[in-house]
A and B are shown apart, each in its own frame.
Chain A
């Protein structure tokens, strides 16, 4: 039996189930990160002194990561647009670039973390480092999750394009919504942790 409303819009909401599902999931994610941003705020306003992020963290590397993540958002949306144009080859190219950008982001994060650990900076040292590692670590896990789904859609999951192109395009759109959310969170994390 076919599952209804995977592609067709529901008559009551005007949306298909996948899209409602991903937006409800993203709403819960907003609250997850919201709670951690509130924690950051509470610790910062309650602290006698608070270091400027750029005295501890590597701003050039974080700026490069911002550029990489924004670029990956564009390649992601271009992957979706390529499917809308019935150009599967371009989809593979842009989705591949999106996954590679994710690897690039994580590699830079690994370099940043390694340098911190080598110089004896760990989450237990102070509240700034505790919230820095918590927020960027959780964000990093989201990058890994998004990459896993994107890599699946680039590889084995792309078989669906041959049998049901609309359904496949829908999956790519929903995966893209998550990936853009990951980018959006980083857009706020970057100034809050590294520059202020």
Chain B
């Protein structure tokens, strides 16, 4: 099975990521208490959530050292994901007027 020294090193990384995720969760809640303007609040909340999501994907899901095919699959998925997210904004800011 796996090389024990490598796994031990990875486990230390998991615990560090865990501590970071907990800290960022506290940061997320604390920032929401500041009642910032909506644009700033949304930006900060999404940046913190993206960092947390990136840590989970990179370390717990091992994306930091994955094969090229997986990166391609995810790259295409992320591109379509943002396209889907932008569609309603596009429709909102450029509405069709008959």
Show the binding face of A for B, using Cβ within 8 Å.
Answer: 13-15, 19-20, 23-24, 27, 30-31, 34-35, 37-39, 41-42, 45-46, 54, 59, 63, 66-67, 70-71, 73-74, 76-78, 81, 83-86, 165-166, 169, 176-177, 180-181, 183-184, 187-188, 190-192, 195-196
Contact = CB atoms under 8 A, between A and B. Distances in A.
Interface residues on B, range: 35 or more
Interface string B38-73: 100110011011001100110011000001111001
Nearest to B21: A70
B92 A46 contact: yes
Contact of B85 (A23, A41, A77): A41
Given A78-B14, A81-B10, A59 B29 contact: yes
Interface of B: 1-2, 4, 7, 10-11, 14-15, 17-18, 21-22, 25, 28-29, 32, 38, 41-42, 45-46, 48-49, 52-53, 56-57, 60-61, 67-70, 73-74, 76-78, 80-81, 84-85, 87-89, 91-92
Given A59-B29, A191-B32, A84 B70 contact: no
9 contacts: A14-B69, A27-B77, A34-B85, A38-B84, A66-B25, A81-B7, A81-B10, A184-B56, A191-B49
